[in-house]
Amino acid sequence: MSATNIILIGPMGSGKSTIGQLLAQRLNRDFYDTDFYIEEKTGVDIPRIFDVEGEEGFRQRETRAIEELVSLDNVVLATGGGSVMREENRKLLRSNSYIIFLDTSVEQQLERLRHDKKRPLLQTENPRDRLQQLLAERKPVYMELADLSIPTDRKFARRVAAEIIPKLPEYLTR
Protein backbone atom coordinates (compact mmCIF):
# COMPACT_ATOMS: atom_id res chain seq x y z
CA MET A 1 0.00 0.00 0.00
CA SER A 2 1.16 3.56 -0.69
CA ALA A 3 2.16 5.87 2.15
CA THR A 4 -0.58 8.16 3.40
CA ASN A 5 1.13 10.05 6.23
CA ILE A 6 3.94 12.57 5.85
CA ILE A 7 6.41 12.45 8.72
CA LEU A 8 9.09 15.03 9.49
CA ILE A 9 12.27 13.91 11.22
CA GLY A 10 15.43 15.83 12.12
CA PRO A 11 17.22 17.44 15.04
CA MET A 12 15.91 20.04 17.51
CA GLY A 13 15.68 23.39 15.77
CA SER A 14 15.36 21.95 12.27
CA GLY A 15 11.87 23.48 11.94
CA LYS A 16 9.77 20.29 12.00
CA SER A 17 6.78 21.86 13.77
CA THR A 18 6.64 25.09 11.76
CA ILE A 19 7.30 23.43 8.40
CA GLY A 20 4.92 20.60 9.28
CA GLN A 21 2.11 23.06 9.95
CA LEU A 22 2.75 24.84 6.66
CA LEU A 23 2.76 21.56 4.73
CA ALA A 24 -0.45 20.47 6.41
CA GLN A 25 -2.15 23.76 5.44
CA ARG A 26 -1.00 23.56 1.84
CA LEU A 27 -1.98 19.91 1.49
CA ASN A 28 -5.21 20.23 3.41
CA ARG A 29 -4.24 17.65 6.01
CA ASP A 30 -4.40 17.56 9.80
CA PHE A 31 -1.17 18.34 11.61
CA TYR A 32 0.18 16.55 14.70
CA ASP A 33 3.35 16.91 16.70
CA THR A 34 4.45 14.13 19.07
CA ASP A 35 5.73 16.59 21.72
CA PHE A 36 2.49 18.65 21.73
CA TYR A 37 0.47 15.45 21.78
CA ILE A 38 2.36 14.19 24.85
CA GLU A 39 1.96 17.56 26.59
CA GLU A 40 -1.74 17.62 25.85
CA LYS A 41 -2.27 14.08 27.10
CA THR A 42 -0.28 14.49 30.31
CA GLY A 43 -1.24 18.12 31.01
CA VAL A 44 2.39 19.02 31.75
CA ASP A 45 5.28 20.20 29.63
CA ILE A 46 8.24 18.13 28.37
CA PRO A 47 10.78 19.53 30.92
CA ARG A 48 8.43 18.49 33.74
CA ILE A 49 8.18 14.96 32.33
CA PHE A 50 12.00 14.74 32.18
CA ASP A 51 12.18 16.02 35.80
CA VAL A 52 9.68 13.56 37.20
CA GLU A 53 10.18 10.45 35.05
CA GLY A 54 13.63 10.97 33.55
CA GLU A 55 14.45 10.64 29.86
CA GLU A 56 13.41 6.98 29.92
CA GLY A 57 9.90 7.88 31.08
CA PHE A 58 9.66 10.48 28.34
CA ARG A 59 10.84 7.96 25.71
CA GLN A 60 8.14 5.50 26.75
CA ARG A 61 5.50 8.18 26.36
CA GLU A 62 7.00 9.15 23.02
CA THR A 63 6.74 5.58 21.69
CA ARG A 64 3.10 5.41 22.77
CA ALA A 65 2.38 8.76 21.11
CA ILE A 66 4.00 7.63 17.84
CA GLU A 67 2.05 4.39 17.94
CA GLU A 68 -1.23 6.29 18.28
CA LEU A 69 -0.43 8.98 15.73
CA VAL A 70 0.85 6.73 12.93
CA SER A 71 -2.41 4.82 13.08
CA LEU A 72 -4.13 7.93 11.63
CA ASP A 73 -4.38 8.48 7.89
CA ASN A 74 -3.48 11.43 5.68
CA VAL A 75 -1.83 13.50 8.39
CA VAL A 76 1.41 15.46 8.64
CA LEU A 77 3.35 14.44 11.75
CA ALA A 78 6.34 16.22 13.32
CA THR A 79 8.44 14.00 15.59
CA GLY A 80 10.86 14.75 18.44
CA GLY A 81 14.53 14.82 17.43
CA GLY A 82 15.40 11.70 19.42
CA SER A 83 12.45 9.56 18.39
CA VAL A 84 14.34 7.79 15.59
CA MET A 85 16.79 6.18 18.02
CA ARG A 86 14.48 3.36 19.12
CA GLU A 87 14.08 0.49 16.68
CA GLU A 88 10.47 0.13 17.79
CA ASN A 89 9.79 3.75 16.78
CA ARG A 90 11.57 3.39 13.44
CA LYS A 91 9.33 0.46 12.61
CA LEU A 92 6.23 2.48 13.49
CA LEU A 93 7.45 5.53 11.57
CA ARG A 94 8.13 3.48 8.45
CA SER A 95 4.68 1.96 8.35
CA ASN A 96 2.36 3.76 6.01
CA SER A 97 4.39 6.95 5.71
CA TYR A 98 6.61 9.12 3.58
CA ILE A 99 9.51 10.42 5.69
CA ILE A 100 11.21 13.78 5.22
CA PHE A 101 14.51 14.60 6.92
CA LEU A 102 15.12 18.30 7.63
CA ASP A 103 18.88 18.42 7.37
CA THR A 104 20.25 21.16 9.64
CA SER A 105 23.74 22.10 10.87
CA VAL A 106 24.68 22.53 14.53
CA GLU A 107 25.39 26.23 13.84
CA GLN A 108 21.87 26.72 12.57
CA GLN A 109 20.37 24.74 15.45
CA LEU A 110 22.27 26.91 17.95
CA GLU A 111 21.00 30.05 16.31
CA ARG A 112 17.39 28.89 16.30
CA LEU A 113 17.52 27.53 19.86
CA ARG A 114 19.64 30.18 21.57
CA HIS A 115 16.82 31.33 23.87
CA ASP A 116 15.29 27.91 24.34
CA LYS A 117 14.40 26.69 27.83
CA LYS A 118 12.07 23.86 26.83
CA ARG A 119 14.63 21.32 25.64
CA PRO A 120 15.93 19.44 28.69
CA LEU A 121 18.83 17.98 26.70
CA LEU A 122 20.15 21.50 26.03
CA GLN A 123 20.13 22.69 29.64
CA THR A 124 23.84 21.98 29.92
CA GLU A 125 27.09 23.96 30.18
CA ASN A 126 27.90 23.42 26.55
CA PRO A 127 24.87 23.09 24.25
CA ARG A 128 27.14 23.11 21.17
CA ASP A 129 28.96 19.97 22.30
CA ARG A 130 25.68 18.31 23.15
CA LEU A 131 24.15 19.12 19.76
CA GLN A 132 27.29 17.94 17.98
CA GLN A 133 27.30 14.67 19.85
CA LEU A 134 23.57 14.08 19.23
CA LEU A 135 23.87 14.89 15.53
CA ALA A 136 26.85 12.56 15.11
CA GLU A 137 24.79 9.70 16.58
CA ARG A 138 21.54 10.53 14.89
CA LYS A 139 22.30 11.85 11.42
CA PRO A 140 23.08 8.44 9.91
CA VAL A 141 19.78 7.20 11.30
CA TYR A 142 17.82 10.16 9.91
CA MET A 143 19.42 9.62 6.51
CA GLU A 144 18.75 5.91 6.51
CA LEU A 145 15.09 6.42 7.37
CA ALA A 146 14.32 9.29 5.02
CA ASP A 147 12.58 9.11 1.65
CA LEU A 148 13.55 12.75 1.06
CA SER A 149 16.24 14.99 2.63
CA ILE A 150 15.97 18.77 2.51
CA PRO A 151 18.67 21.20 3.70
CA THR A 152 17.15 23.94 5.89
CA ASP A 153 20.15 26.15 6.77
CA ARG A 154 19.56 29.89 6.28
CA LYS A 155 16.07 29.28 4.88
CA PHE A 156 12.73 30.49 6.20
CA ALA A 157 10.19 27.78 6.97
CA ARG A 158 7.98 28.96 4.10
CA ARG A 159 10.75 28.46 1.61
CA VAL A 160 11.50 24.95 2.90
CA ALA A 161 7.81 24.01 2.67
CA ALA A 162 7.66 25.42 -0.86
CA GLU A 163 10.70 23.34 -1.83
CA ILE A 164 9.20 20.16 -0.42
CA ILE A 165 5.79 20.28 -2.12
CA PRO A 166 6.96 19.74 -5.74
CA LYS A 167 9.26 16.92 -4.61
CA LEU A 168 6.46 14.89 -3.05
CA PRO A 169 5.17 11.87 -4.94
CA GLU A 170 1.97 12.75 -6.74
CA TYR A 171 -0.28 10.42 -4.73
CA LEU A 172 0.51 12.45 -1.57
CA THR A 173 -0.55 15.78 -3.05
CA ARG A 174 -3.92 14.75 -4.48
What is the Cα–Cα distance from 60 to 21, expressed in whole angstroms? 25
Question: Residue 10 or residue 173: which is nearer to ligand S3P going by CB?
Answer: 10
* Residue 80 found at the interface with ligand S3P (CB under 6 A): yes
Coil, helix or strand at residue 13:
coil
Distances (CA, A) of 120 to 5, 29, 55, 81: 28, 30, 9, 12
Q: Which of residues 96-125 bind ligand S3P (CB under 6 A)?
A: 119-121
Cβ atoms 21, 31 nearer than 8 A: yes
Question: Residue 150 or residue 171: which is nearer to ligand S3P going by CB?
Answer: 150
Shortest distance (Å) from residue 122 CB to ligand S3P: 8
Question: Residue 120 or residue 151: which is nearer to ligand S3P going by CB?
Answer: 120
Cβ atoms 7, 77 nearer than 8 A: yes
Longest CA span, the chain: 47
Which is nearest to 135 in space by CA: 14, 17, 51?
Answer: 14
* Residue 35 found at the interface with ligand S3P (CB under 6 A): yes
Q: Which of 12, 70, 157, 164 binds ligand S3P (CB under 6 A)?
A: 12
* Residue 127 found at the interface with ligand S3P (CB under 6 A): no
Which secondary structure element, helix H or strand E, spans residue 140, and what is its range?
helix 127-145
Near ligand S3P by CB under 6 A, which window of 24-32, 78-86, 139-147, 162-170?
78-86
* Residue 81 found at the interface with ligand S3P (CB under 6 A): yes
Can you give the binding site for ligand S3P, defined by CB under 6 A? 12, 16, 35, 46, 80-82, 119-121
